[in-house]
C-alpha cells in the first residue's frame, strides 16, 4: 500500500546530498544528482537529503536508520517502505520539468509513462517556456488586469491556439504579442479622486500612457487628459460605448 505524498521540486544546486552505495543503481542516482547540480557527499557530512543505493538488505536498512536518526530525509532505492521521498521519472525540457511518480508502486510504469511523454512533448517546449518568462513584463503591460491576462494566455496556450505548447515555436510568442494581442478590446475604468494629475496612482498613469482612446466626462481636467499619449483619441461623453474598439480604452470619471 502506497501512502499519499506531496510532489515537490527541491532546488539542490550547490547543496550537499548524501549518496551511499556502489553499482548501477548508485551510478544512476549520481548522474541524476549531478545533472541537478547537487554536491555529492558521504554519510558523515551535513545534508538535508540522502539516497541509499546499497544492494544488501541489512546494511541498507542500518544506513537508513542512522540517517533518519539525524533527521535526514532518505530515499532508499527499491525499498519504498523505507523512503521519506521518492525520485520520479523525469521528462526534461528545461525550464519545464515533468515528474512522474507512482509512490514507489512501480518504477517500470513511471518509466513507460516517461517514454510516452518524451515522444509527446516537443524539444522546443523549454525554449517557449523560457521566452514566456522573458516577456512576462510585456504581457503584464499588455494585460494589466489579472483576469484578462489569464483569459488571453489561456486561449493562446489552448490546443490549437497560437501558443499551443505541443506545436508552437518560441518565435510564435513574439508574433502573438505584436499581432494577436493588439486586436483585443479592453476597457478600463479609472475613477479619479482629485483633479490633480500627481494624485494618479502609478498603475493609472501607466494605463493612460498606453491607452489608444480615452472616454471622459466633461469635468475631467485637461491636466489629467494630458497624461494620455499624444496620439490617443479623446471622446467627451456621458458614458463609454458598449464597443469601444480594439486595443486599450480608458473611461475617466470625476467624483460627483
CATH number of the domain bearing residue 228: 3.40.1010.10
pLDDT per position in the chain (256 positions), as tens? 566 788 889 999 999 999 999 999 999 999 999 999 999 999 999 999 999 999 999 999 999 999 999 999 999 999 989 999 988 999 999 999 999 988 878 889 999 999 999 999 999 999 999 999 998 888 888 888 787 788 788 878 888 888 999 998 888 888 888 765 455 567 889 999 999 999 999 888 888 887 889 999 999 999 999 999 888 889 999 888 888 876 778 999 987 6
Same domain, yes or no: 98 and 75: no
Distance CA 79, CA 86 (A): 10
- Whether residues 54 and 79 share a domain: the answer is yes
Nearest of 133, 143, 136 to residue 203 by alpha carbon:
143
Are residues 169 and 114 part of one domain? no
Q: Do 82 and 92 reside in the same domain of the chain? A: no
Q: How many CA atoms lie within 13 A of 65 on its CB side?
A: 6
CA distance 253 to 238: 9
Same domain, 28 and 72: yes
Structural domains counted in the chain: 4
Nearest alpha-carbon partner for 87 in 114, 57, 117, 59: 114
Contact present, 250 and 215 (Cβ < 8 Å)? yes
- 37 shares its domain with 82: yes
- 215 near 186, Cβ under 8 Å? no
Write out the residue range of the structural domain in which residue 94 sits.
Answer: 88-121
Tell me if 3 is assigned to some domain.
Answer: no
Do 192 and 157 share a structural domain?
Answer: no
Which residue from 167, 168, 164, 162 is spatially nearest to 182, judged by alpha carbons? Answer: 162
Asked if the structure places residue 22 within a domain, the reply is yes
Flag whether 238 is in a domain.
Answer: yes
What is the per-residue burial (b if ≥16 Cβ within 10 Å, else e) of 137-166?
Answer: eebeebbeeeeeeeebbeebeeeebbbebe
CA 96 – CA 245 distance, rounded (Å): 37
Whether 7 is in a domain gets the answer: no
Dist. CA 146–CA 57, nearest whole Å: 54
Q: Name the nearest CA neighbour of 157 among 172, 136, 178, 135.
A: 172
Task: Answer yes or no: do 205 and 231 share one domain.
Answer: yes
Domain assignment present for residue 105? The answer is yes
Are residues 215 and 226 located together in one domain of the fold?
A: yes
Residue 6 is assigned to a structural domain of this protein: no
Amino acid at each position: 500500500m502506497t501512502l499519499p505524498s506531496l510532489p515537490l521540486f527541491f532546488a539542490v544546486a550547490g547543496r550537499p546530498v548524501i549518496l551511499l552505495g556502489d553499482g548501477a543503481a548508485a551510478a544512476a542516482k549520481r548522474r541524476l544528482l549531478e545533472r541537478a547540480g547537487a554536491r555529492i557527499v558521504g554519510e558523515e557530512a551535513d545534508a538535508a537529503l540522502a539516497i541509499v543505493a546499497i544492494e544488501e538488505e541489512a546494511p541498507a536498512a542500518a544506513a537508513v536508520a542512522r540517517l533518519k536518526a539525524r533527521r535526514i530525509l532518505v530515499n532508499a532505492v527499491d525499498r519504498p517502505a523505507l523512503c521519506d521521498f521518492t525520485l520520479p521519472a523525469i521528462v526534461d525540457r528545461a525550464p519545464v520539468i515533468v515528474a512522474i511518480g507512482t509512490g514507489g508502486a512501480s518504477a517500470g510504469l513511471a518509466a513507460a509513462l516517461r517514454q510516452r511523454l518524451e515522444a509527446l512533448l516537443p524539444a522546443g517546449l523549454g525554449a517557449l517556456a523560457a521566452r514566456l518568462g522573458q516577456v512576462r513584463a510585456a504581457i503584464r503591460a499588455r494585460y494589466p488586469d489579472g483576469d484578462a491576462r489569464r483569459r488571453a494566455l489561456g486561449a493562446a496556450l489552448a490546443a490549437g491556439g497560437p501558443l499551443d505548447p505541443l506545436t508552437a515555436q518560441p518565435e510564435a510568442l513574439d508574433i502573438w504579442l505584436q499581432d494577436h494581442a493588439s486586436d483585443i478590446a479592453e476597457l478600463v475604468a479609472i475613477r479619479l479622486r482629485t483633479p490633480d494629475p500627481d494624485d494618479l496612482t502609478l498603475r493609472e498613469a501607466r494605463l493612460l500612457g498606453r491607452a489608444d482612446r480615452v472616454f471622459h466626462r466633461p469635468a475631467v481636467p485637461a491636466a489629467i487628459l494630458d497624461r494620455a499619449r499624444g496620439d490617443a483619441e479623446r471622446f467627451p461623453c456621458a458614458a463609454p460605448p458598449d464597443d469601444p474598439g480594439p486595443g486599450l480604452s480608458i473611461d475617466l470619471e470625476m467624483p460627483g
